[in-house]
Amino acid sequence: MPGPLTGMRVIEMAGIGPAPFAAMMLADLGADVVRIERPARPVLAQAGMNVLGRGRRAVVADLHEPGPRSTVLRLIERADVLMEGFRPGVMERLGLGPDDCLARNARLVYGRMTGWGQTGPLAQAAGHDINYVAISGALHAIGRSGEAPVVPLNYLGDFGGGGMLLAFGILCAVHEARNSGKGQVVDAAMTDGAALLSAMMYGMKAEGAWSNQRGENLLDGGSHFYDTYACADGRFVAIGAIEPQFYRTLRERCGIDDPLFDDQMDPRLWPLLKLRLADVFKTRTRDEWCALLEGSDACFAPVLDWDEAPHHPHNVARRTFIDVDGVVQPAPAPRFGRTPAGPPRSATGEVDAESLLRAWEAPTDAASRVETVHPA
């Protein structure tokens, strides 16, 4: 598949969640990514429905057996990147740890995705996104005032603070390897990533502009001008009119002349103003508010569900969502002007390891390769 990463060869140890998301991002942008699947539990058994598995093939190998393990090592000799998402020590016990692999390929970038990281007192503990986000401080900050923290799906740990962090780290290390000729380990931890995503909030807290009380701050639903509101039909809209000029546009378009709204940044008034603004939005349906506010500088958007979002005119115009073999899914991102990514393919299932090895016999320097071999 075309894209700015065309020519990069990646070995992905099959797993779930953040590592496959990172692999999907690399494959979307042209990297030749091959998954190593366990024979008893192929993750891509229903490949066509597995959006996270798109754009890559799979080699089925029992890594507890010397023969398949040797084959994977031969693939690693020809790869630019290996990425895995197991607990620390699992790959070492399989004979595929960083020392084993870098001994075979000194330029290899070895990406490791975990929740707690490769080191630290919790490194060997089980966990999931919600646990990793919890110790970063981020989970405490999300929710309504006086209520329990709200689970933000698994965006912050698995995908934003996990998969994207891993993909970024891998590409940084590949860039460095092209200069030094040496690979290295990339230790991507979801605890680190979730904390990193909170950088602005920690900065605002240091300045006295953010408190530990969730639901009472500028961007956590505490202010009346940055929140969601129910409409007359029970659907919701999202408002983000922070700057004075955008706040003024919101008031003008909504016909709000109540002088209490003049003191926009007085947190003492926010609870009352939220109630009054909620009453305003209950006077029209969501579509009526869209007709009045969408596309203006009121910082407005309708809150769309999974079925509605792909059909929004802006998303349609930008092709933000695409159909791959009958499955509606997000398109590759970001966009590139000179080397655009092609449409992703569904996961293509099993490929013969020996055929792949023959196709990968070209030099292992990604910068010298101009095309990626795909299955027929």
pLDDT tens digits for range 210-225: 999 999 999 999 999 9
Mean pLDDT score of the chain, rounded to an integer?
93
What number of other Cβ atoms are within 10 A of residue 352's Cβ? 12
- For residue range 11-56, list pLDDT tens digits in order: 999 998 899 999 999 999 999 999 999 887 655 545 445 799 999 9
Edge to edge, the sheet with strand 57-60 lists 57-60, 32-37, 9-13, 81-84, 109-114, 184-189
Backbone angles phi, psi at 189, to 5 degrees: -115, 135
DSSP E strands: which ranges in the chain? 9-13, 32-37, 57-60, 81-84, 109-114, 184-189, 226-230, 236-240, 300-302, 321-324, 327-330
> Closest Cα to residue 332, out of 24, 35, 49, 47?
24
Structure tokens at 59: 């080699």
Backbone angles phi, psi at 182, to 5 degrees: -125, 135
Question: What was the pLDDT predicted at 350?
Answer: 81
Query: CA–CA separation, 201 vs 28, rounded Å?
Result: 31
Q: How far apart are the first and last CA of the chain?
A: 13
Question: What was the pLDDT predicted at 41?
Answer: 62
Question: What was the pLDDT predicted at 351?
Answer: 85
Per the CB < 8 A criterion, the answer to whether 26 and 50 are in contact is no
Question: What was the pLDDT predicted at 346?
Answer: 87
Which H/E stretch holds residue 167? helix 164-180
Question: What was the pLDDT predicted at 374?
Answer: 38
Query: CA–CA separation, 376 vs 365, rounded Å?
Result: 24
Catalytic hit among 62, 64, 128, 262: 128
- Greatest CA separation for the chain: 77
Backbone angles phi, psi at 48, to 5 degrees: -65, -25
What value does the mean pLDDT take over residues 261-286? 98
Model confidence at 373: pLDDT above 80: no
Question: What was the pLDDT predicted at 363?
Answer: 59
Question: What was the pLDDT predicted at 49?
Answer: 54
What value does the mean pLDDT take over residues 140-162? 96
Model confidence at 208: pLDDT above 90: yes
Confidence of residue 370 (pLDDT cuts 50, 70, 90): very low
Catalytic hit among 28, 32, 129, 158: 158
Residue 62 falls in the annotated catalytic set: no
What value does the mean pLDDT take over residues 89-103? 97
Burial of 168 (0-12, 13-18, 19+ CB in 10 A): middle
Q: What is the distance of C-alpha 163 from the center of its chain?
A: 6
Question: What was the pLDDT predicted at 48?
Answer: 43
Confidence of residue 341 (pLDDT cuts 50, 70, 90): very high
| b/e per residue 193-206 (b: at least 16 CB within 10 A) | bbbebbeebeeebe
Higher pLDDT, 238 or 49: 238
Model confidence at 369: pLDDT above 60: no
What value does the mean pLDDT take over residues 111-115? 98
Q: What is the distance of C-alpha 151 from the center of its chain?
A: 16
Residue 158 falls in the annotated catalytic set: yes
Strand partners for 227: 239
Domains and their CATH numbers in the chain: 9-197+318-368 (3.40.50.10540), 226-230+236-302 (3.30.1540.10)
Cis status of the peptide bond prior to 302, with omega within 30 of 0: no
Query: CA–CA separation, 90 vs 143, rounded Å?
Result: 37
User: Where is average pLDDT lowest: 60-64, 82-86, 139-143, 287-291?
Assistant: 60-64
Model confidence at 226: pLDDT above 90: yes
Per the CB < 8 A criterion, the answer to whether 38 and 11 are in contact is no
Question: What was the pLDDT predicted at 39?
Answer: 86
Residue located via tokens 């229903």: 46
Higher pLDDT, 216 or 374: 216
Residues for the chain: how many in total? 376
What value does the mean pLDDT take over residues 233-262? 98
